[in-house]
Amino acid sequence: MVYTRKTFVWAALILVSSVFAVVLQWASLPAATLLGPMLAAMVFAFCGVKLTVPRWAFTGAQSVVGCMVALTMSPAILSTLLQSWPAILFAIALVIIFGALVGHGLMHFGTLPGNTAAWGTSPGGAVAMMAMAESFGADIRMVAFMQYLRILVVVLTASAVSRLLLGGSVADLPPPTWSPGFDAPLIPLIQTLVLVAVGVLAGRIGRIPAGALLIPMVLGAVLNSLGFIHITLPPWLLWAAYASLGWYIGLKFTPETLRHTLRVLPQLLLAVVALMALCCIAAWMLTVWAGVDPLTAYLATSPGGLDSVAIIAADSGCDLAFVLSLQSLRLFAVVLTGPLVARLICRINGRSACGMA
């Protein structure tokens, strides 16, 4: 009887998550297939429903996200990087430093626990930051809220800047597609699933923090760029990973967590605005030093999600290859440097709640 009731509750959660995801996609919000399940799980948790996502599902989701990050390191991106590497690396370093400065300020003057501020203010890779944060002792609920608050504000601002200030047109999100992608090429799919499995197993056996994400990311980037494998991520695989990650986070929310989130909302908004302002400095330096046009420089250094910025850049008349190269490499760099930056910020602030989980 208990098993039947639990199955019914899971079926209800899946149904509500699907409805939320469709509504968010219709509203043109980024990462609808992650935010929908997360919001649905929060509603269920507030109603007293006791569900837990199996640990293997969470680590599997981490590994899929690692493959997704690896896929951004394509030969075309690397070609553009080789052509403009000084400007791109300089801008990436600046944005990472600015993110660390904002995280330091939020931790020093704010009220967030442990290294949550450091992970929450990492400039890019929201899903990856959420997938890694808990492994390094951060509050995954607050990290998720901070990351998607930043993306929402950045996307709205980037759209306004593109349209009103710099003369570009705003790209609409592509029409939603709900095809599960069961017709994905078999051999690349098998290669991708093997890479996911390697990440999960190596992360557990090697006891590497967030190894389930980092190992597929690095290994997949090398093998995919060299043409030894072809990573493919059909919608059904991404939906499963995003739903697992969303449920894992959402089911941990409590009324007290929500109250705390609302109390610190002004701090978080101030941090987002500060990070955006600092990134504008990086954009200005690109225009002065490398001769990059203002719109391209602004979108390339914008601390938003890669997919959202790419959509805006596509129809804005800017150098799309430069924007995607800088955003993709920054995503890769932020994931690799995230643990080091978080640990450094904690050490500067004298926090002890930064131990590795």
Domain membership flag for residue 15: no
Domain membership flag for residue 21: no
- Give per-residue burial for 334-356: e unless 16+ CB within 10 Å, then b: bbebbbebbbbbbeebebeebee
140, 249 in Cβ contact below 8 A? Answer: yes
Query: How high is the pLDDT of residue 215?
Result: 87
Query: How high is the pLDDT of residue 83?
Result: 80
Domain membership flag for residue 293: yes
Domain membership flag for residue 40: no
Nearest CA to 104 out of 124, 121, 87 is that of 121
Query: How high is the pLDDT of residue 270?
Result: 92
Evaluate if residue 167 carries a pLDDT over 60.
no
Query: How high is the pLDDT of residue 171?
Result: 47
Q: pLDDT (tens digit, 9 = 90+) per residue, 54-71? A: 888 888 988 998 898 888
d(CA 134, CA 128): 11
Q: Structural domain of residue 141, as residue ranges?
A: 55-349
Q: pLDDT (tens digit, 9 = 90+) per residue, 33-49? A: 888 998 999 899 888 88
| Mean pLDDT of all residues in 280-290 | 89
Mean pLDDT score across all residues of the chain:
82
Query: How high is the pLDDT of residue 207?
Result: 66
Domain membership flag for residue 215: yes
166 exposure class (CB count in 10 Å sphere: 0-12, 13-18, 19+): middle
Confidence of residue 311 (pLDDT cuts 50, 70, 90): low
d(CA 50, CA 211): 28
Domain membership flag for residue 19: no
Question: In one letter, which amino acid is 159?
Answer: S
Residue with tokens 């944060």: 133
Confidence of residue 331 (pLDDT cuts 50, 70, 90): confident
What's the domain count of the chain? 1
Domain membership flag for residue 34: no
Global pTM exceeds 0.85: no
Query: How high is the pLDDT of residue 166?
Result: 55
Query: How high is the pLDDT of residue 316?
Result: 67
Nearest CA to 40 out of 219, 204, 245, 298 is that of 245
Q: Among 54-63, 169-178, 276-285, where is mean pLDDT lowest? A: 169-178
Domain membership flag for residue 43: no
Query: How high is the pLDDT of residue 330?
Result: 87
